[in-house]
Amino acid sequence: MRYTLLLHYPEMDAATLGEEVLAAGQQAFASYAATLHQAGVLLAAEVLQPSANTTTLTMAGGALHVQDGPFADTKEQLGGTFVIDVPDLDAAIEWGRQAPSIEWGAVEVRPGGVFTVDGAWVPNT
């Protein structure tokens, strides 16, 4: 069963964080990904660029609107995703609680619905 861990946290830049904290955070994410990989549960992981670099598209009233900024402008933003394949929700929660960003934000654990294999949709079971 696939679960996506959605990491939400307040965005801070390198300047406010400081070099050391930034390096420590990167190190924590590196070893988290390595641990997931070694356990054989990691399918994909991505840390996103800040929401300042996001573009949001809407098609209100039939016309395409291209807007600067994230879909929801809140203090906490989606900062990264990990897709894992584990037997059940408890296992997913167990991995989620180990995500480094849990120290400074929320980790949303979301079961997958369907996913693609070679371009074809497959149910998540």
Partner 1 sequence: MSGGEAWGVAGRTARASHGRLLALLAAPTGDLAGSEDALSAAYEQALASWPAGGVPRNPEAWLLTVARNRQRDSWKSAYRRSLAPLEAADRLGAPDERLEEVEVDAIGDRRLELLFVCAHPAIDPAVRTPLMLQTVLGLDAARIAAVFNVPASAMAQRLVRAKRRIKEARIPFVVPGRQAMPERLPAVLEAVYGCYAMAWDQDGPGMGGAEVDLRGEAQYLARTLARLLAGESEAWGLAALITLSVARDRGRTGSERVPAGPVPAYLPLDEQDPGMWDARMMAEGDALLRRAASTVTPGSAPGRFQLEAAIQAVHCARARTGATDWYALRTLYTALVAVAPGLGARVALAAVIGRVDGPAAGLSAIERIGDGAPWEVRSAVERFQPYHAARAELLAGAGRRAEASAEFAAAADMASRPGVRDYLLRRAADMGPA
Residue numbers at the binding site for partner 1 (CB under 8 A): 1, 87-90, 93, 111, 125
d(CA 93, CA 75): 24
In the complex with partner 1, the residue whose CB is nearer, 33 or 115, is 115
Exposure string over 71-95, b if 16+ CB within 10 A, otherwise e: eeeeeebbbbbbbbbbeeeebbeeb
In the complex with partner 1, the residue whose CB is nearer, 10 or 111, is 111
CB of 88 to partner 1, least distance (A): 4
CB of 99 to partner 1, least distance (A): 17
3-state secondary structure of 67: strand
In the complex with partner 1, the residue whose CB is nearer, 6 or 33, is 6
* Residues 6+ positions from 88 with CB-CB distance below 8 Å: 1
CB of 59 to partner 1, least distance (A): 29
CB of 40 to partner 1, least distance (A): 18
Cβ atoms of 85 and 2 closer than 8 Å: yes
In the complex with partner 1, the residue whose CB is nearer, 119 or 123, is 123
Cβ atoms of 104 and 9 closer than 8 Å: yes
